[in-house]
Amino acid sequence: MAQAAARQRPPAALRIQRALPEQDVQGRVSRVTGGHTANLEHNGEHFVRGASMWHVFDCKSKTGSTPRECAVTLLDETFPAEFGDDIAPTAEWAAEIRRLARQRGATVLAHNYQLPAIQDVADHVGDSLALSRIAAEAPEDTIVFCGVHFMAETAKILSPDKTVLIPTARAGCSLADSITAEELREWKAEHPGAVVVSYVNTTAAVKAETDICCTSSNAVEVVASIPADREVLFCPDQFLGAHVRRVTGRTNMHIWAGECHVHAGINGDELAEQARAHPDAELFVHPECGCATSALYLAGEGAFPEERVKILSTGGMLDAARESRATQVLVATEVGMLHQLRRAAPEIDFRAVNDRASCRYMKMITPATLLRCLTDGTDEVDVDPETARLARRSVQRMIEIGHPGGGE
């Protein structure tokens, strides 16, 4: 078996523009080109490859811990010449991918944020939990998961007897890595008796320390199912947590200060500007976005009709798109989602609120890496059996509550 590449998963979220000023989360990126330091006016996605990133998380108000600073250098993907990044997603490439998948007895799954060519060649496209459930039910013994690492882990948790491959194990997630299992254990020790609710966008080790998982589709229902006198520890996404606390009105809910650096970079000013420029458009906002609160504020102030503001998971966006009568929709999420939305409702003009909101980690999966994966059978994803057992329990509890929808 070929040895998997060393994974490069960022230890924390990169933040350029803050959406919640009270959270002391800082980020800075250094990239020198031509002797000049790069301008960081964008949300950071153009500055990931070959960059060094420092992340400082001050979670003291949430955890009692001191701020931690981490650094990671994200290395360029390097492969043998036959798997170079110059492979074009031609019809011949797609035919070869499908041939290799049949030969290997594999089904290819692609997340909504993947490159359009990866989505188009996949057997199934969706968000992470939906894909993991498809993986568990698929007749194939091998799952090729085109997404970031925690998603492939979740597929392995739900399909322990299947071989799960990811085209590059370096594909990480800033949100999943904004909390570790050790940090969660420390947080639990500070709140004995509290119920831990973790977003499915977490590592297997964190899921194993969790009481109930949730998705962006059912987070409100999961938290509402917990007795009112029990404290709730919600992790890791602060924006989804704020949305849940706002909807439920729960006062004994503690929220971890984590974030997806792409969604956090979609800010309220951009949203307001786009809303003013397109007053007749509907607005689809992912609850991980830093601008979700701004969207509700705009509606509350009458700047944007309340009935046209929808806080939705990616699966919810697709459902809403199929039912919408709008001619134009502004979309606040990772730009890869536009491909599926346009396929679902080609008559609608879908526009990104921030067209730079592209996840470099998702885009590490290329035509070249997928071809290598199916040719060499790399990189294989393994989860410790006991960790998987405990993590599976928290996911199953979520499913028992109902309406899990998709993963994001």
Q: Which residues are annotated as a binding site for iminosuccinate?
A: 111, 128, 199-201, 216, 286-288, 314
**Three-state SS at 302:** coil
- Candidates 166, 206, 176; CA nearest to 388 is 206
Please enumerate in sequence order all residues whose Cβ is within 8 A of that of 137, keeping only pairs 6 or more positions apart, or say none.
none
Contact 332, 286 (CB under 8 A): yes
What DSSP line would sit under 46-91, residue for residue?
GG-TT-EEEEEE--HHHHSPPPEEEEEE-PPP---GGG-TT----H
**Three-state SS at 27:** strand
Cα-Cα end-to-end distance for the chain: 32
- Candidates 128, 115, 133; CA nearest to 173 is 128
Positions at the binding site for [4Fe-4S] cluster: 173, 260, 359
Query: How far is residue 399's CA from residue 89's CA, in Å, rounded to a whole number?
Result: 37
Our CA dihedral for 313, 319, 325, 331, rounded to 10 degrees, sits at 30
Contact 168, 365 (CB under 8 A): yes
Edge to edge, what strands does the sheet with 25-30 contain? 25-30, 52-57, 68-73
Alpha helices for 138-277 (secondary structure H): 149-158, 181-190, 204-208, 219-224, 238-248, 261-264, 268-277
Query: How far is residue 407's CA from residue 345's CA, in Å, rounded to a whole number?
Result: 22
Positions at the binding site: 111, 128, 173, 199-201, 216, 260, 286-288, 314, 359
